[in-house]
Amino acid sequence: MQKKHIRWNTKGSGPVRALGAMSGTSLDGVDAAVVVTDGESIFGFGQTGYRAYSDSERATLRAALERWHGPEVDAAALMVTQAHAEVLSEFEDVELIGFHGQTLAHEPRGRGTLQVGDGLGLAQALGLPVVWDFRSDDVALGGEGAPLAPFFHFACAKWIGAEEPLCFLNLGGVANLTFVNPSFDNPEEPGALLAFDTGPANAPVDDLMQKRLGLPMDRNGETARGGDVETGALELFLAEPYFSRMPPKSLDRNDFSEMIELVKELSNPDAVATLTAMCAAAVVQGMEHCPKAPKRVLVTGGGRHNPVLMEMLRVSLDCPVLPVEAVGLDGDMLEAQAFAYLAVRVARGMPTSCPGTTGVKALVGGGTVSAPERAYNQR
């Protein structure tokens, strides 16, 4: 049966049923989620979906990491597009798609940023306009190109009725923190947001588990729970210059790949416990940059399922650390929902990043909008 879609006018101002998709640095699969929004407020959340990558697909992505061109990148782009088409085709009654693609390389102060996936091809396959390439314009104007979810985090803070400053902490392959002051009316106002990558999160643990044990992750923190933290390795990690840099700042997935070298002589439990402690310590150090003490930290991403990591954060921070489900949000889908929300903002000419979130020189509404029949840029 052919899926039913709603046609819409980008020049309108009412709520839109937007579908966002995210394939993150953990390389686990594609998250997809519907958000009803006008690009400012959230009116509701809709259907969600997930399409896991197979072992061979993850191998395709790993072979392309840190590459900017070549057959490995082409193979990854094709696979990413096909995987997204599969999961997104299962959704009905949507008007617009936000397609992040898969980040393979990220050097905002060097060669730029690369997210692979064919947005125009996806638009043709699904018969819907697709917003994609969200990060390039931000980098071109001097921004970090990441993180991009903070404008959505601001809308979420409004949606849950927050009145005091709070933080959203995303624990994916990389950890990023968004400080939100909900007393402001708009996310682009100076002081409303501060966002940056605190350091690596799940990626080093996942890579070590894959290399040593053939497992994709430390499920439920079971390996870390049986180990001891090597404080010498932790101190060497925290001495990295990145942590003394003022935000905004961002990381590539493999920027701290040498972390595994710091624990190479340790047993599996001790190595994983130490890498987990490195993630927590980087978050704690990053919290010092917040302009005000947050009243709570809401955690999203796969790392919130790791009780060892969550406990490390709770004992180290001076405020409650809670999964976002505690306030009625979906931590598995928040990134996908963010790109649904951002897609509406891009299509309607609204900013998606600002100096406080990426360090960009001016407000940017980055992204390309591809219609099923033709492609055009809406800057």
Instruction: Tell me whether the omega of the peptide bond preceding residue 323 falls within 30 degrees of 0, making it cis.
Output: no
pLDDT tens, position by position, 135-164: 999 999 999 999 999 999 999 999 999 999
User: Residue 293 and residue 378: Cα distance in Å, rounded?
Assistant: 38
User: Residue 74 and residue 368: Cα distance in Å, rounded?
Assistant: 20
Domain boundaries, the chain: 16-146+333-377, 161-327
pLDDT tens, position by position, 211-246: 999 999 999 999 999 999 999 999 999 999 999 999
pLDDT tens, position by position, 315-328: 999 999 999 999 99
Q: How many residues does the chain have?
A: 379
Measured in whole angstroms, the distance separating CA 45 from the mean position of its chain's CA atoms is 18
Give the model's pLDDT for residue 11: 57
What dotted CATH number matches 161-327? 3.30.420.40
Residues of the chain with pLDDT under 50: 1-4, 375-379
User: Residue 301 and residue 179: Cα distance in Å, rounded?
Assistant: 16
Secondary structure class of 315 (helix, strand, coil): helix
User: Residue 196 and residue 222: Cα distance in Å, rounded?
Assistant: 29
Give the model's pLDDT for residue 335: 94
Secondary structure class of 44 (helix, strand, coil): strand
Give the model's pLDDT for residue 163: 97
Give the model's pLDDT for residue 9: 52
Instruction: Tell me whether the omega of the peptide bond preceding residue 187 falls within 30 degrees of 0, making it cis.
Output: no
Query: Do 34 and 45 touch, CB atoms closer than 8 A?
Result: yes
Give the model's pLDDT for residue 24: 87
User: Residue 179 and residue 165: Cα distance in Å, rounded?
Assistant: 7
What class does CATH assign to 16-146+333-377?
A: alpha beta
pTM greater than 0.75 (yes/no): yes
Topology agreement, domain 16-146+333-377 and domain 161-327: yes
User: Residue 31 and residue 20: Cα distance in Å, rounded?
Assistant: 8
